[in-house]
């Protein structure tokens, strides 16, 4: 793909004569440009039992910046934590590095070697390293390329190695430390992405998390950028390129103890802070990606590192295993799209083409906003019109027959008042038959409802915004999940009787929507909070509990919208409405 790209070449100058001394002192003095180093670490007394404390206590100390008390303490902690990382059986160490480096570079005073292919197009922050330190860093990266041929793309690796070089006794030990992070095989844990596929999946996962945890910032980015993913693809660079050394090293402190999940937290905190800052208020005609980068580079003007970490750990994310499952789902979606290696930044994330997209209800720009709300692994694919009342008539059975076999789907409704609303529906409509004689609800917590006009707004599953509700003790007294009786011209309940509504647990199906958003993963206080979608011959219901977010009759002509417990939404338009147009969209994955 990059056959014509220029080859990156490292020229080591005369003073950088090859010399490896693994026994030299802490962070070899000549490797650091002390004039550029912030006044971070003091020479403080180190408690003798500091490294024997429980891991939970070490996490607390790292979050509070305890390692910054002493350069020696930080180096000792780093070494111990990395030695405790479980690795593949054969992982190269400092002695291997000394041997391989001697073969590669010899004793020559001037050498010229290309950087590994996996760094093609990647930046290499140096974090206050001296010219000798930069040369040592490059030698380490060249040896990694030689000893880890399976690495094909790893943009964060140079920054992590540069940070470790500050706190290693020499470059050989630095190589061993970074090698252990590369070779980690702990379950559901990854320290360093090592392929383009893994990197893209982590960017998609961050996009999913930003969509849910930073809705205001996400809405701002979606409204000002043609390619939201292009902005989110820089999330790791914010942390390990754009942030100043004093912030990056504090992130590294907690990263060694808590893994990649902590990086998601801090990047989300940066995104939230960006939205709150004055720099995001006037963005008309602004390159938001460049504006975000400038904001992160000047972060000291906006928030201290302690406050940034405090806000990051105040964000309630899913568990490390659940995030790993989401990342695996995103990897699978990329593989199904044929995206497994480095590609030029094509428009595969611009799935809604402004020129070719046609809808009778929304504009291409409005559809892009909707597409920015859906999980990243589905936004890879362009929208496919499955059903339209304009072309297929007002028939519920025709709606079902056109939509069955597609998962997920997007429902769009335009009322006779000109309002536009809809829903993202996670499951195949054919699942409605699995309830037997009853009209049961199905779907997962990735379902959401939304409005487009007069204002664009999304309402997600209540437990995404209020996860503490899922920890409530289950009710001991039966509670009717029936919605309020419809009034006026609104449709009847598809079940005919609210007492017949049921919420069957969704079947386990690997490779479907995000597994951790299935109902079985949550201890729910009531079934009304998980009434996602239901359909029968009498009509469609989306959302339930105290009301229905959307309800449509069998003729797809009349509807009703109310607040409901599942999505904690207000009415999406006038409560009783007449349908002017209805469309159902799927995802074109072939």
Tell me: pLDDT of 421 over 90.
Answer: yes
250 and 397 share a domain?
no
Of these ranges, 43-47, 51-55, 88-92, 452-456, the one predicted with the greatest mean pLDDT is: 452-456
213 and 122 share a domain?
no
Last residue of a domain, one of 155, 183, 211: 183
DSSP 312-339: HTTS-PPPHHHHHHHHHHHHHHHHHTT-
Cβ–Cβ < 8 Å for 129, 165: yes
158 and 260 share a domain?
no
Mean pLDDT of 84-90: 84
Residue 375 in any domain: the answer is: no
Tell me: pLDDT of 159 over 80.
Answer: yes
pLDDT recorded at residue 374: 87
CA neighbours within 13 Å on the CB side: how many for 362? 30
394 and 427 share a domain?
yes
Residue 536 in any domain: the answer is: yes
409 and 548 share a domain?
yes
314 and 392 share a domain?
no
Residue 388 in any domain: the answer is: yes
pLDDT recorded at residue 156: 92
387 and 326 share a domain?
no
Percent of the chain with pLDDT over 90: 35
Domain holding 570, by residue range, is 382-469+516-587
Residue 539 in any domain: the answer is: yes
Of these ranges, 119-133, 476-490, 507-521, the one predicted with the greatest mean pLDDT is: 119-133
pLDDT recorded at residue 442: 87
Last residue of a domain, one of 300, 319, 337: 337
pLDDT, tens digit (0-9, with 9 covering 90-100), for 207-239: 989 988 888 888 888 888 878 888 899 999 999
Residue 356 in any domain: the answer is: no
Alpha-carbon distance of 411 to 552, in angstroms, equals: 12
Mean pLDDT of 302-320: 89
Tell me: pLDDT of 317 over 60.
Answer: yes
Which stretches does DSSP call E strand in 79-181? 111-114
Tell me: pLDDT of 152 over 80.
Answer: yes
Cβ–Cβ < 8 Å for 19, 116: no
Cβ–Cβ < 8 Å for 163, 252: yes
pLDDT-based confidence at residue 496 (cuts at 50, 70, 90) = very low
Last residue of a domain, one of 143, 159, 183: 183
104 and 207 share a domain?
no
Q: What is the pTM of this model?
A: 0.68
β-partners of residue 387 are 584
pLDDT-based confidence at residue 333 (cuts at 50, 70, 90) = confident
pLDDT-based confidence at residue 297 (cuts at 50, 70, 90) = very high
pLDDT recorded at residue 431: 87
Q: What is the CATH number of the domain that holds 270?
A: 1.10.472.80
pLDDT recorded at residue 560: 96
Return the number of other C-beta atoms located less than 10 Å from residue 34's C-beta: 8
530 and 408 share a domain?
yes
Residue 248 in any domain: the answer is: yes
Residue 461 in any domain: the answer is: yes
The mean pLDDT of the chain is 78
pLDDT recorded at residue 492: 40
162 and 201 share a domain?
no
pLDDT recorded at residue 502: 31
pLDDT recorded at residue 45: 59
pLDDT recorded at residue 461: 87
Residue 127 in any domain: the answer is: yes
Mean pLDDT of 47-55: 75
pLDDT recorded at residue 512: 39
DSSP letter assigned to residue 184: B
Mean pLDDT of 12-40: 56
Tell me: pLDDT of 11 over 80.
Answer: no
243 and 331 share a domain?
yes
pLDDT recorded at residue 340: 62
Mean pLDDT of 444-466: 86
CA neighbours within 13 Å on the CB side: how many for 220? 24
Cβ–Cβ < 8 Å for 277, 217: no
300 and 410 share a domain?
no
How many degrees, rounded to 5, is the angle at CA 486 between CA 438 and CA 564? 80
> How many domains does the structure of the chain reveal?
3
Residues 6+ apart with CB under 8 A from 48: none
* Selected residue with higher pLDDT from 6 and 80: 80
Percent of the chain with pLDDT over 70: 76
Mean pLDDT of 4-33: 46
Give the 3-state secondary structure of 74-107: HHHHHHHHHHCCCECCCCCCHHHHHHHHHHHHCC
Sequence-ordered alpha helix ranges (H) in 259-395: 260-276, 288-297, 305-312, 320-336, 364-373, 376-379, 389-392
């Amino acid at each position: 793909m990059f056959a014509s790209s220029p080859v990156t070449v490292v020229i080591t100058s005369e003073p950088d004569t090859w010399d490896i001394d693994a026994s030299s002192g802490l962070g070899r003095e000549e490797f650091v440009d002390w004039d550029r180093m912030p006044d971070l670490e003091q020479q403080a007394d180190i408690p003798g039992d500091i490294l024997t404390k429980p891991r939970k206590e070490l996490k607390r100390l790292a979050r509070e910046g305890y390692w910054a008390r002493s350069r020696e303490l930080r180096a000792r902690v780093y070494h111990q934590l990395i030695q405790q990382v479980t690795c593949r059986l054969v992982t190269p160490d400092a002695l291997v590095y000394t041997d391989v480096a001697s073969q590669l570079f010899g004793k020559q005073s001037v050498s010229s070697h290309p950087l590994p292919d996996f760094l093609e197009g990647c930046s290499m922050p140096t974090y206050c390293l001296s010219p000798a330190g930069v040369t040592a860093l490059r030698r380490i990266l060249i040896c990694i390329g030689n000893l880890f041929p399976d690495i094909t793309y790893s943009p964060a690796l140079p920054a992590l190695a540069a940070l470790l070089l500050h706190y290693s006794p020499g470059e050989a030990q630095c190589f061993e430390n970074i090698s252990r992070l590369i070779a980690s095989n702990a379950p559901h844990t990854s320290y360093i992405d090592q392929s383009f596929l893994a990197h893209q999946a982590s960017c998609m996962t961050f996009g999913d998390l930003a969509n849910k945890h930073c809705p205001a910032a996400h809405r701002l980015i979606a409204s000002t950028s043609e390619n939201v993913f292009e902005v989110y693809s820089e999330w790791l660079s914010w942390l390990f390129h754009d942030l100043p050394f004093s912030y990056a090293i504090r992130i590294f402190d907690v990263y060694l103890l808590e893994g990649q999940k902590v990086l998601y937290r801090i990047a989300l905190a940066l995104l939230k802070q960006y939205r709150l800052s004055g720099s995001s208020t006037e963005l008309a005609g602004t390159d938001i990606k460049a504006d975000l980068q400038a904001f992160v580079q000047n972060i000291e003007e906006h928030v201290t590192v302690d406050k940034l970490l405090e806000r990051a750990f105040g964000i309630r994310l899913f568990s490390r295993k659940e995030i790993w499952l989401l990342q695996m789902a995103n990897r699978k979606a990329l593989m199904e799209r044929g995206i497994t290696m480095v590609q030029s930044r094509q428009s595969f994330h611009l799935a809604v083409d402004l020129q070719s997209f046609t809808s009778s209800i929304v504009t291409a720009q409005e559809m892009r906003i909707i597409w920015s709300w859906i999980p990243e692994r589905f936004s890879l694919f362009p929208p496919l019109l499955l059903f339209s009342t304009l072309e297929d008539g007002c028939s519920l059975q025709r709606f079902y027959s056109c939509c069955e076999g597609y998962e997920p789907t997007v429902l769009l409704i335009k009322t006779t008042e000109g309002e536009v609303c809809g829903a993202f529906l996670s499951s195949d409509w054919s699942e409605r038959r699995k309830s037997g004689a009853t009209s049961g609800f199905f779907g997962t917590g990735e379902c959401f409802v939304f409005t487009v006009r007069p204002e664009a707004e999304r309402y997600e599953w209540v437990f995404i915004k209020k996860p503490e509700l899922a920890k409530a003790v289950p009710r001991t007294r039966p509670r009717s999940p029936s919605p309020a009786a419809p009034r006026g011209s609104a449709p009847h309940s598809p079940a005919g009787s609210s007492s017949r509504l049921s919420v069957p647990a969704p079947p386990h199906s690997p490779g479907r929507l995000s597994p951790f958003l299935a109902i079985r993963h949550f201890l729910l206080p009531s079934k009304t909070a998980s009434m996602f979608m239901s359909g029968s011959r009498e009509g469609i219901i989306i959302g339930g509990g105290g009301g229905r977010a959307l309800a449509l009759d069998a003729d797809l002509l009349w509807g009703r919208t109310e607040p409901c417990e599942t999505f904690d939404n207000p009415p999406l338009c006038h409560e009783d409405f007449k349908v002017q147009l209805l469309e159902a969209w799927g995802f074109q994955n072939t």
